[in-house]
Amino acid sequence: MTEFFSKYFPNVIAQGWGGESGWLTAIGQTFYMTFWSFIFGGILGLLFGVGLVLTAPEGVYPNKIIFNLCDKLVSFFRAVPFIILLAFIAPVTQLLVHTQIGTTAALVPLSLGVFPFYARQIEVALASVDHGIIEAAQSVGATFSDIVFTVYLREARSEIARVTTVTLISLIGLTAMAGAIGAGGLGNTAISYGYNRFNNDVTVVATLIVLLLVVLVQVVGDKIAAALNHRSN
C-alpha cells in the first residue's frame, strides 16, 4: 500500500500532515471556516427567515416595511456571486478583522454569502407549517415567542434540519472557493499546491476529501431530519 501511494501520489505524501501546507492543517482550516461562518451566517439567516415569514402580507404579524427591507437585503446578497462578494466587502473585512486574507478574514464574506441562502431555505421551511396549527395557537392566546418557538420552529424542525444540511453542503463549497484565493483550507491546497504546480494527485485527493465531507454532512443531516420527523408524528 505504501509503495502504491509513493508511486501514484508522491506529491500528496510530500505535502505531509502538519505544517502550513499539511493535510491536517487544510482540513482543520476548512472545518474552522465552515463552523464559524455557519454560526454567524446561520443565526443571521434564521433571523431573516423567521422575519420574512412573520411579517409577510399573509403572515402572523404583517409589516410591509420590515418585510420589504428583509426581502430586498436577502435578494441583494443572493444575487451577488460569491467571488465578487469577496472583493466587494473587502473593506468591511479589513475593518472587522484587520486583514483581507486568511481563514479568519474569510469568515466575513462566507457568513454574508451563506446567510441569504439559509434565510430563503428557512422561509420555505416555516411557510410549510399548517396554518391551522398557527390559528389554534393564536386562539388560545399564544405570545410572540410561543408562535416562533413552539409553533413555527418546533413544527418545522425536520424540514429545518434538511435545509440546514443543504446549507452546510453549499457552505463547504464556498470555503473551497474562498480557499482558492488565499483563505486556506482544502480549496487552497487543491489550487495552490495542486493545480498551479501541476500536481494532479494533490488536486484529486483534496477534491475527494471535500466530497467525503459533503457525503458525511448529508448522511448525518438525513438521519437527524428523519429522527425529528419521527418524533413529530
How far is 57 from 148, CA to CA, in rounded Å? 17
Q: What is the pTM of this model?
A: 0.90
SS3 141: coil
Which run of H or of E encompasses 230? helix 200-232
Residue 102, by phi and psi: left (phi above 0), alpha (psi -120 to 50) or beta? left
The backbone torsions φ and ψ at residue 141, rounded to the nearest 5 degrees and listed phi first, read 80, 35
Q: Does domain 17-232 have CATH number 2.60.40.10?
A: no
9-21: pLDDT as tens digits: 888 888 888 878 8
44-76: pLDDT as tens digits: 999 999 999 999 998 899 999 999 999 999 999
Given a contact cutoff of 8 angstroms between Cβ atoms, the answer to whether 147 and 138 are in contact is yes
pLDDT at 83: 84
Distances (CA, A) of 16 to 23, 178, 189, 198: 6, 22, 12, 18
> Can you tell me which residue has the cell 459533503?
214
